[in-house]
Amino acid sequence: MLDVGTFDGFYAFLAERRGAARVVAVDNEQYVAWVRARWGVELEGGEGFRAIAELLDSRVAYVRGDAMGLVATGERFDVVVCFGILHRVENPLGLLRGLAGVLAPGGRMLVETLGVAGDGRIEVYEPGEVYRRDDYVYWGFGAEGLSALAAHAGFARVTIDATPTIDGHPRILATLERPGD
């Protein structure tokens, strides 16, 4: 299992606890910048993950770097979790395409990201428009927009699982399936 944009590793540690044979967690630590801007808290990067890993005696492998860096390693995963990050990358189509490439044939990727109000396609935001002083939120995805993007990226099937509103913000959850061989 691969956890993309793991932050403190919540989903990676959960997957390990639930029996995933190998878990890799990747994060470029972009959050250091927006945690400083939003809350004035200075983080070094990775300290939350390391503290929890130690408490849990975890074997989750932490990779500090851009998610796209994993594409070149050749490792393949049957499940990829991509939560809270798609709206924070400059090239969401490139990220989806790259992650489709790290999935084993027939594998699934679970996506959770910022949505849009109603049935829109994809919206573009100004710096700080969604979260005050957070310049790293670029996009909101409607069901149609996310499905179209996933099709461009090579996914065979997209299921929109839910479109809840969390803390006043629309979110979208979907399952993207890679074609089998």
- As a dihedral over the C-alpha atoms of residue 25, residue 27, residue 32, residue 37, rounded to 10 degrees, the angle is -110
Could you say whether residue 88 binds ligand SAM (CB under 6 A)? yes
Binding-residue pattern over the window 53 to 72 for ligand SAM, x denoting contact by CB under 6 A? -------------xx-----
User: What is the rounded CA–CA span in Å between residue 143 and residue 56?
Assistant: 37
Q: Which is nearer to ligand SAM, 83 or 139 (CB)?
A: 83
Q: Which is nearer to ligand SAM, 18 or 180 (CB)?
A: 18
Closest distance to ligand SAM from the beta carbon of 143 (Å): 19
Closest distance to ligand SAM from the beta carbon of 146 (Å): 16
User: What is the rounded CA–CA span in Å between residue 81 and residue 112?
Assistant: 8
Q: Please state the length of the chain.
A: 181
Number of H helices, E strands in the chain: 5, 10
Where along the sequence are the contacts to ligand SAM (CB under 6 A)? Answer: 5-7, 10, 26-31, 66-67, 83-85, 88-89
